[in-house]
Amino acid sequence: MMPNAPVLFFDSGVGGLSVVAQSRAGLPTAAFVYVADTAGFPYGTKTEAEIAARVPALLGRLVERYRPRLVVIACNTASTIALTVVRNALELPVVGTVPAIKPAAEASMTRVIGVLGTDATVRQPYVDRLLAEFAADCTVVRHGSAALVLLAEAKLRGESIQLGDVRSAIAGLFDGPNGGSIDTVVLACTHFPLLGEELAAAVPHPVRFVDGGSGIARRVAHLTAGQAWPAITPPGLAVVTRLDAAARALAPALAGRGFPELVQL
């Protein structure tokens, strides 16, 4: 393994940056490539068939071009739908991002947890299996929000986020008969930790937020243990599938998170 072989992070947009941050802390001199599928964004409103076809094909092109040592699908929607297909297609380790239901169930005192993700993620059979295995004794409230994904993207473009918009986006999680008892919320979309302060201010009562970023960082560190890394941290490369005005507006946020160069695939 060449020291400069990167870890490649893939998401529909900028949500995966929440995963990169924790992995970078554990691997400070690693070479990172971050890919946002801006031409396919957003994934949460697409069909399973569209995502299952698009993600493996696109990752195949990316692996051929950038020769990473490891791929992280830093997107819950893509992981819950296409992870198995991608692993079968690529001859290198692939780490998925799935809802952190196990730690949420372990943390909950009321035994009522919320799963906040995209519409596509919260309806997946994969999530059903996680709930059956790790949260069988919990009441689970699921809510999908495409609006929250768009708000996270807007925040990283430097736009002002209205707290009322965040409240409206998450209202469905708390307005039902069990909403008042939720004490732990799974952030089942990597975009949502980017709105951590806004979410904390918008919830109707205090809750604990749980996401999978730390688990992904531990998995990446484990899979690359003992491998050589550059002596000096190389600048990260950000790649988009469509370099339009919206993508260019993300350049300052990407640079501030260690990706000063922005290119189109």
Among candidate residues 75, 78, 135, 173, the one labeled active-site is 75
Four-residue CA torsion sign, 115, 19, 158, 202? positive
Among candidate residues 188, 189, 216, 237, the one labeled active-site is 189
* Tokens 């919260």, residue located: 122
Tell me the H-state helices in the chain: 17-26, 48-66, 76-89, 101-107, 119-122, 125-134, 146-156, 163-174, 196-202, 213-223, 245-248, 251-256
Q: What is the largest CA-CA distance in the chain?
A: 55
User: How many CA atoms lie within 13 Å of 160's alpha carbon, on the beta-carbon side?
Assistant: 2
Contact in structure between 161 and 198 (CB atoms under 8 Å):
yes
Q: Is 138 a catalytic residue?
A: no
Q: Which residues are catalytic?
A: 75, 189
